[in-house]
Amino acid sequence: MTYSDENKSNSWALVTGSSGGIGLAFAEELAKKKKSIILVARNENRLVELSKKISQQYGVATKTVAADLSSLEGVNHLISETKELKVNLLINNAGKEESGSFLTLPPAEMLSSIALNCSAPLLLTHHLANKMASQGGGQILFISSIVAFQGVPLIANYAATKSYLLTFAEGIALELESQGVKISIAAPGFTKTNLAPHQNFESTPFKPLDAEFVAHYTLNKLGKRRLIIPGFINKVLFYLGKYLQSRRKNSQAFGKVFRLVLRDELAITDTAKVEQ
Q: How large a percentage of the chain has pLDDT more than 90?
A: 73
Query: Would you place residue 258 in the very low, low, confident or very high pLDDT band (cuts 50, 70, 90)?
Result: confident
Stated pTM of the model: 0.91
pLDDT at 1 over 60: no
HEC profile of the chain: CCCCHHHHHCEEEEEECCCCHHHHHHHHHHHHCCCEEEEEECCHHHHHHHHHHHHHHHCCCEEEEECCCCCHHHHHHHHHHCCCCEEEEEEECCCCCCCCCHHHCCHHHHHHHHHHHHHHHHHHHHHHHHHHHHCCCEEEEEECCHHHHCCCCCCHHHHHHHHHHHHHHHHHHHHHHHHCEEEEEECCCCECCCCCCCCCCCCCCCCCECHHHHHHHHHHHCCCCCEECCCHHHHHHHHHHHHHCCHHHHHHHHHHHHHHHCHHHHHHHHHHHHHC
Residue 3 is predicted with a pLDDT of 45
Residue 8 is predicted with a pLDDT of 52
Model confidence pLDDT, tens digit, residues 48-71 = 999 999 999 999 999 999 999 999
Active site residues: 158
Query: Would you place residue 4 in the very low, low, confident or very high pLDDT band (cuts 50, 70, 90)?
Result: very low
Residue 216 is predicted with a pLDDT of 97
User: 5-275, superfamily in CATH?
Assistant: NAD(P)-binding Rossmann-like Domain (3.40.50.720)
Model confidence pLDDT, tens digit, residues 180-209 = 999 999 999 988 876 655 677 776 677 889
Do you know the residue count of the chain?
276
Give the start-to-end residue ranges of the domains of the chain. 5-275
